[in-house]
């Protein structure tokens, strides 16, 4: 077994999803997720993409991400809006509660730890 994993989203099939209806604020965002790695103990890595819309998010896990394309705005409840563009990197910690707004279709790579 190799300890390396190479991945090309062009040739892989994406999972399709959307925000839960009770969290949707505006638009009709559609998610595409390419889960590259799902490791024991709750570690996930992959690429995520969403079309425009806005929804509430609540994080019970750690997530590191890097914006690859598009434009989104993430706002923590009671906090300032953070404008995310290509090259932006961020960590969202457990307990983050706020909104994610995709202004222009956004793609990010991510690592999540439960």
Q: What is the pLDDT of residue 40?
A: 87
DSSP 60: S
Distance set, CA 82 to CA 3, 4, 17, 79, 98 (Å): 36, 34, 24, 9, 11
Q: Is residue 86 part of a domain?
A: yes
Q: Which pLDDT tens digit goes with each residue over 32-42?
A: 999 988 888 89
**What residues make up the domain containing 55?**
51-102
Distance set, CA 72 to CA 5, 43, 59 (Å): 28, 24, 17
Total domains present in the chain:
1
Q: Is residue 55 part of a domain?
A: yes
Q: Is residue 35 part of a domain?
A: no
CB atoms within 10 A of CB 31: 16
Q: Is residue 110 part of a domain?
A: no
Q: Is residue 34 part of a domain?
A: no
CATH number at residue 62: 2.60.120.10
* 114 residues of the chain, pLDDT tens digit each: 788 877 777 777 899 999 999 999 999 999 999 998 888 889 999 999 999 999 999 999 999 999 999 999 999 999 999 999 999 999 999 999 999 999 999 999 999 999
Q: Is residue 113 part of a domain?
A: no
Average pLDDT, the chain: 95
Q: Is residue 18 part of a domain?
A: no
CA–CA gap between residue 66 and residue 27 (Å, rounded)? 24
């Amino acid at each position: 077994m190799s300890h390396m994993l190479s991945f090309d989203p062009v040739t892989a099939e994406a999972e399709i999803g959307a925000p839960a209806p009770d969290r949707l604020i505006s638009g009709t965002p559609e998610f595409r997720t390419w889960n590259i790695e799902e490791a024991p103990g709750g570690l996930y890595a992959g690429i995520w993409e969403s079309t425009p819309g806005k929804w509430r998010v609540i994080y019970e896990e750690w997530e590191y991400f890097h914006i690859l394309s598009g434009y989104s705005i993430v706002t923590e409840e009671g906090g300032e809006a953070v404008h995310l563009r290509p090259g932006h990197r961020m960590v969202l910690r457990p307990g983050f509660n706020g909104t994610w707004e995709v202004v222009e279709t956004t793609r990010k790579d991510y690592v999540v730890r439960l």
